[in-house]
Amino acid sequence: MSTERFYITTPIFYPNGVPHIGHAYTAIATDVLARFQRLDGKDVFFLSGTDEHGQKMQQTAEKEGIKPIELADRNSAVFRDMLVKLNCSNDDFIRTTEERHKRSVQELWKRMEANGDIYLDNYGGWYSVRQEAYFDEAETAVGEDGVRREPLGSPVEWVEEESYYFRLSAYGDKLLALYENNPEFVAPTERRNEVASFVKSGLRDLSISRTTFDWGVPVPGNDKHVMYVWVDALTNYITAAGFPDEAADKWNYWPAIHMIGKDIVRFHAVYWPAFLMSAGLTLPAKVFAHGFLLVKGEKMSKSIGNVVDPFALIEAYGLDQVRYFFMREVPFGQDGSYSPESIATRINSDLANGIGNLASRSLSMINKNCDGKMPACGALTDDDKALLDTIDKVIDSARAEMASFQIHKALAAIIDVVADSDRYFAGQEPWALKKTDPARMETVLYVTAETVRQISILLQPFMPESAGKLLDLLGIPADKRDFRALGEAGRLEAGTPIDKPTPVFPRYIAPEEA
């Protein structure tokens, strides 16, 4: 039987600036999904990368007096470094300036053209010389002086340039049929409704080339034109699966699940499937749009000065703490707010006082009272069975929640068992049993440690390093850490040496209190 494949992507990020916490959030969530499926036995391909062409890149480079490729090289490396620092397990990192991508996007263009969906016409719009950008008529307004201006106030004039168009208008019904027949194609539901109503309101053909700048992939057969950056960018997802080499094994990863922010749903759920339909290629498996991270309820922006640097956040709180916080705190798919207080609370209540404390209490008792070895498990009482039954079944709910991208609920289901175990441990009073019934104490410690084992295995996608440390403390070998080892199949082995545990989740103390 061949292993089921699972292909998942982040958006490819614009390297015209450095990453912020929003980029990190997408990357962490996608990594959690990828790691979960890998531990669950799937053959996973996880892709991220940078989107390096377009007018904005060219303009930023000009302002800095460097070449666009120099800007792209510099900042793409920072995004790549962010993924490393976040401990993301991506299998590839694509840059749209790579040769493999040029070949792929030009082939996609040719197929759409061969299908009769690309034609040359004039593109007309209100153009601001100062902004070097077109604006929709609705975005502009005529002032008292009779001059039409764009929202930032620079004058606009009607400009026409030659442009290739994609016959998007021909795909409205097909797209609506896609959303209808495959209701899970775009998620969550609000996003699906939003794209469906956008398509229902009528699609206009899409201008897909530019002649006013040259930082892009040339249009095949007419290199006066470079491709519109979204045609170029979206195609990265098939480039990385080896397109146009559809005979190669790698192509079997396609279609992918696209994880994105809610700002770019239209591109992924309208334009992208239309391009693929036109080229006769398989559509993505799914487009899931998560919400936006807000800082104390406010949108992050450079002008407010509240943009959070992911590197600084990791430095302040620790990587796994940051990963845990965002995955647990924000209902995945909705907007979520971040504040230093909320992150400190989560770290202390769920990690330091929660799983950290449970592991250290039970393992120190084992180390001290059971000859530094995992004790044997005696006859099970109803309380023991109830706790083991709870932890043995968590994978079922976690799997179901992850399959519907309810990452926060999957994580809650796992971490909630810590409270059950704490109650069990307190109720059984192993410290009292030490004198009255040492064999019973051993069983209680065994059952508690077994719960810690399974919680740790399940926490690996969320906090890979810390969960790994917990499994090290329990002496679990590398080949017994995937989801096949959950439940009875992987029960702890009596006699395994247990050292005095080192703390995995220290309490967070704000610097001014320290």
Residues 6+ apart with CB under 8 A from 436: none
Binding residue for ligand ME8, selected from 234, 257, 270, 444, defined by CB under 6 A: 234
Query: If binding is defined by CB under 6 A, does position 361 make contact with ligand ME8?
Result: no
Which one, 48 or 451, has the nearer CB to ligand ME8?
48
Q: To the nearest whole angstrom, how small is the minimum distance from the Cβ of residue 227 to ligand ME8?
A: 13
Query: If binding is defined by CB under 6 A, does position 11 make contact with ligand ME8?
Result: yes
- Distance (Å, rounded) from C-alpha 391 to C-alpha 388? 5
Query: If binding is defined by CB under 6 A, does position 240 make contact with ligand ME8?
Result: no
- Distance (Å, rounded) from C-alpha 482 to C-alpha 486? 8
CA 468 to chain centre: 21
Which one, 11 or 333, has the nearer CB to ligand ME8?
11
Q: Which stretch binds ligand ME8 (CB under 6 A): 6-14, 37-45, 175-183, 371-379?
A: 6-14
Query: If binding is defined by CB under 6 A, does position 23 make contact with ligand ME8?
Result: yes
Query: If binding is defined by CB under 6 A, does position 93 make contact with ligand ME8?
Result: no
Query: If binding is defined by CB under 6 A, does position 86 make contact with ligand ME8?
Result: no
User: Nearest residue to ligand ME8, using CB?
Assistant: 22
- Distance (Å, rounded) from C-alpha 193 to C-alpha 172? 15
Contact at 8 Å (CB) between 461 and 39? yes
Between the alpha carbon of residue 161 and those of residues 147, 150, 154, 378, the distances in Å are: 22, 19, 20, 81
Binding residue for ligand ME8, selected from 7, 13, 243, 324, defined by CB under 6 A: 13
- Distance (Å, rounded) from C-alpha 238 to C-alpha 403? 23
Which one, 263 or 341, has the nearer CB to ligand ME8?
263
Q: To the nearest whole angstrom, how small is the minimum distance from the Cβ of residue 271 to ligand ME8?
A: 10
Which one, 305 or 511, has the nearer CB to ligand ME8?
305
Q: To the nearest whole angstrom, how small is the minimum distance from the Cβ of residue 430 to ligand ME8?
A: 44
CB atoms within 10 A of CB 280: 10
Q: To the nearest whole angstrom, how small is the minimum distance from the Cβ of residue 488 to ligand ME8?
A: 40
Nearest residue to 90 (alpha-carbon basis) of 81, 98, 99: 81
* Residue-by-residue DSSP string for 437-472: -HHHHHHHHHHHHHHHHHHHHHHTTTSHHHHHHHHH
* Residue-by-residue DSSP string for 165-226: EE-GGGGHHHHHHHHHH-TTSEESHHHHHHHHHHHHT-PPPEE-EESS---SPEETTEEEEE
401: left (phi over 0), alpha (psi -120 to 50) or beta: alpha
- Distance (Å, rounded) from C-alpha 463 to C-alpha 32? 9
Q: To the nearest whole angstrom, how small is the minimum distance from the Cβ of residue 216 to ligand ME8?
A: 13
Binding residue for ligand ME8, selected from 6, 8, 22, 38, defined by CB under 6 A: 22
Site size toward ligand ME8, by CB under 6 A: 18
Between the alpha carbon of residue 160 and those of residues 125, 126, 164, 210, 223, the distances in Å are: 7, 9, 13, 11, 19
Q: To the nearest whole angstrom, how small is the minimum distance from the Cβ of residue 442 to ligand ME8?
A: 48
Contact at 8 Å (CB) between 329 and 408? yes
Binding residue for ligand ME8, selected from 6, 7, 25, 134, defined by CB under 6 A: 25
Query: If binding is defined by CB under 6 A, does position 261 make contact with ligand ME8?
Result: yes
Which one, 75 or 460, has the nearer CB to ligand ME8?
75
Binding residue for ligand ME8, selected from 8, 26, 88, 462, defined by CB under 6 A: 26
Binding residue for ligand ME8, selected from 69, 159, 264, 283, defined by CB under 6 A: 264
Which one, 14 or 332, has the nearer CB to ligand ME8?
14
Q: To the nearest whole angstrom, how small is the minimum distance from the Cβ of residue 82 to ligand ME8?
A: 11
Which residues bind to ligand ME8, rule: CB under 6 A?
11-14, 22-23, 25-26, 51, 233-234, 260-261, 263-264, 292-293, 300
